[in-house]
Amino acid sequence: MATASHPYLIYVADPMCSWCWGFTPTIIEIRKAFGARLPVRLVMGGLRPGTSHPMDAASKAETRHHWEHVEKASGQPFDYAFFDREGFIYDTEPAARAVVVLRRAGPRVGLAGLMRIQRAFYQENLDVTRTEVLTELAVELDQDAAAFRDAFESEAAREETLDDFALSRAFGVSGFPTLIAARGAEGPYALVTRGFCSADPLIPALERWLDSAQGLQPQTQ
């Protein structure tokens, strides 16, 4: 994607991160504003990979608080019937791995996959930790069911997903969403936002960065 000096964005996210779901309209607006001028490289951050214990009452209460905060800040819809589930294990690795597999079909498919899985989880109350659910979502994105499942269940996909998590850490990312602007495959890099932010301050900041090659004032919320 990146040539010697071509500008692009690195979007570090997790499909089961509520603030990333809240950030989805921002990414959509940025894509509309810049298109091919600022292609998006998607990196899976790894929110809670490998979680093995079911959510208890305390973790449900904490998670619900986050969702309510995101809904108020972003306007994104949530299906709170999720909290009626018993025994749900909040393992984010399968959903992240599904995005990694979909990304192989191109960055547009990868980003569409992230957003479709987010909507399935937060708005439609689907269990995106299940292979069959993720396969159905991949089919919606015009992927072959058997080919997706084979790729998803492969060791190569697991290793590629772990590589994404490692890359996120190498960038120094400690929370999601994080958006980074870059020029060329090796940078230089500029932090756009660490955490949720609306598109309103980001689009003009990115315009100035593109026009002047100056650094960015990071946005946080």
User: Which tens digit of pLDDT belongs to each residue from 115-124?
Assistant: 999 999 999 9
Could you give the maximum distance between any two Cα atoms of the chain, in Å? 53
Cβ neighbours of 30 (radius 10 Å): 21
Joined tokens for residue 100: 């990694």
- Identify whether 99 is part of a domain: yes
- Give domain status of residue 109, yes or no: yes
**Euclidean distance between the first and the last CA atom of the chain, given in angstroms as a whole number:** 29
Tell me which residue of 5, 9, 2, 1 sits closest to 216, measured CA to CA: 9
| 165 lies in some domain | yes
* Distance (Å, whole) CA 64 – CA 79: 10
Residue 1 lies in a domain: no
Q: What is the DSSP string of 5-37?
A: S-EEEEEEE-TT-HHHHHHHHHHHHHHHHHGGG
User: Do residues 158 and 49 make contact, with C-beta atoms less than 8 angstroms apart?
Assistant: no
In this predicted structure, the answer to whether residue 147 has a pLDDT above a threshold of 90 is: yes
Each residue of 10-47: pLDDT tens digit?
Answer: 999 999 999 999 999 999 999 999 999 999 999 999 99
Q: Is residue 69 part of a domain?
A: yes
Residue 2 lies in a domain: no
Assigned domain for 13 exists: yes
Overall number of domains in the chain = 1
Residue 213 pLDDT class (50, 70, 90 cuts):
low
pTM over the 0.85 mark: yes
Residue with tokens 């109350």: 125
121 to 38, 82, 92, 151, 189: CA distances (angstroms): 28, 9, 11, 22, 32
Encode pLDDT of 188-207 as tens digits.
Answer: 889 999 999 999 999 999 99
Contacts of 5 (CB under 8 A, 6+ apart): 183, 184
CA–CA separation, 9 vs 203, rounded Å? 12
Q: Could you list the residue range(s) of the whole structural domain that residue 107 is in?
A: 7-220
Nearby residues of 100 by Cβ (< 8 Å), 6 or more positions away? 44, 110, 157, 160, 161, 164
pLDDT of 218 above 70: no
Is residue 168 situated within a structural domain?
yes
What's the CATH number where 105 sits?
Answer: 3.40.30.10
The predicted structure's pLDDT at residue 216: 57
